[in-house]
Amino acid sequence: MSQFRVKPTLCQIDSCKAFCEQFEVGKGDLILTNPTYFEGFFDGCADGATVVFLKKYGKGEPTDLMVEALYQDIKDLEYKRVIAIGGGSIIDIAKIIAQETISPVVDLFEKKIPTKKTKELIIIPTTCGTGSEVTSVSVIELTVRGTKLGLQTDEEFADYAVLIPELLEKLPFRFFATSSIDALIHAIESYLSPKANPFTEMFSVEAIKLILHGYQEIVAHGEAARNEHIKEFLLASTYAGIAFGNAGCAAVHAMSMPFSGTYHVPHGEANYVVFTEVFKVYNRLAPDGKIRILNELLTSIVGGDGSDVYERLETLLSAILPKKTLKEYGVKEEELAVFTENVMTKQGRLTANNYTPLSKEEVYGIYQNLYG
Ligand SMILES: [Fe+2]
């Protein structure tokens, strides 16, 4: 059985200009991006390429409506390569438009249309969080079905994942914080996943070290210090993507889903709200399993004697991104049971990777502790 795979060719390139030269960007290329990333970085070095700004089709998380509207505009264009320059939404949609048949996108996601990648796909992330440049999954909201759905197939792997640190230098601190915390959670959840193996663990551990050490530098020297470490954060995000792309994420992602979906809280921020509380419960339920090794690693970074490792971790993380209670997001107490039901019945893809099984009562208890 396959334990580990990294399909895209990985490249680190110092500047967008150098990328355009090395990849000979121009005619035959469809660049999916937004003005924030394109202007100032790619102006004048991508002549001849067709540039499409996703914001024209809507804001926020990707939907089937956005994909269908975009498809109408690009269906008669000739392009051989799709180049995605952006965050999670742009990357997820680029994986779709590299397919031979795109519409109706609902049929693609419900597997009535087979996936078959007919365009070369190059992904350039502009946040340090999703790890989506190295995974084979895209998630969109199917408005016709009233739910988010993920499509995972080998046909969605990029051919190249290109890391260009300069693109992240203008990322607002809040986006930097939510995306890098998401990457940290990818690394930690995948480390404890039952599907973890020595190959994924190596990437998880390295990502954890890079991100937490980077946070300590920011706490010590101020927000501007992140740009000195942005290359490491970008690398860590890709490492974490490699780890969770092979070993999976678990309860933290599962429990954040209904909350972030209902209250439109950014993915990384919603994961952060749930994160340490889930791990405190894991630690209580199965303290002698693999979590001991994780706790030793975390303690070696955050200090202490190990007894309060998650409190110390929370102190470090809250210096990067203040944490709010569910109540502060407007969640009503009666919704905690609805969220719990969603986790128990709809998030099995993720909860199958839990370090130790969490009962309905335990999931509800975690939400209660987070409520405020
Ligand atoms: Fe995530």
Q: List the Cα angle 60/162/29 in 5-degree steps.
A: 75
163 shares a domain with 178: no
221 φ, ψ to 5°? -120, 0
Q: Going by DSSP bridges, is the β-strand pair 29-33/50-53 parallel, antiparallel, or unpaired? A: parallel
Residue 31 Cα to ligand 1 midpoint, Å, equals 24
Give me the residues of the chain with pLDDT under 70, please: 1
Q: What residues make up the domain containing 123? A: 9-168
Helix ranges restricted to H, 75-229: 88-97, 105-109, 173-192, 198-221
pLDDT tens digit string along 282-319?
A: 999 999 999 999 999 999 999 999 999 999 999 999 99
Q: Six-digit token pair at 349? A: 């893809």
> Is 2 part of a structural domain of the chain?
no
Concatenating the DSSP letter of every residue in 312-359 gives: HHHHHHHHHS----TGGGT--TTHHHHHHHHHHHH-HHHHTT-SS---
Q: Are residues 366 and 321 in the same domain?
A: yes
The verdict on 313 and 365 lying in the same domain is yes
How many independent structural domains does the chain possess? 2
Whether residues 65 and 139 fall in one domain? yes
Alpha carbons 275 and 252: distance in angstroms, whole number: 6
CA of 192 to the centre of ligand 1 (A): 15
Amino acid letter for position 132: S
Pair (252, 312) in one structural domain: yes
CA of 132 to the centre of ligand 1 (A): 9
Do 140 and 179 belong together in one domain? no
C-alpha of residue 309 to centroid of ligand 1, in Å: 22
CA angle 107, 108, 111 (to 5 degrees): 80
pLDDT for the residue numbered 1: 64
pLDDT at 145: 82
Do the Cβ atoms of 342 and 258 come closer than 8 Å?
A: yes
Inside any domain, residue 180: yes
pLDDT score, position 70: 98
Domain assignment present for 1: no
- Span from the CA of 136 to the centroid of ligand 1 (angstroms): 14
Domain harbouring 71, CATH code: 3.40.50.1970
Task: Supply the pLDDT for residue 61.
Answer: 82
Ligand 1 being an ion, which residues bring their Cβ within 5 A of it?
Answer: 182
Determine the pLDDT at residue 179. 96
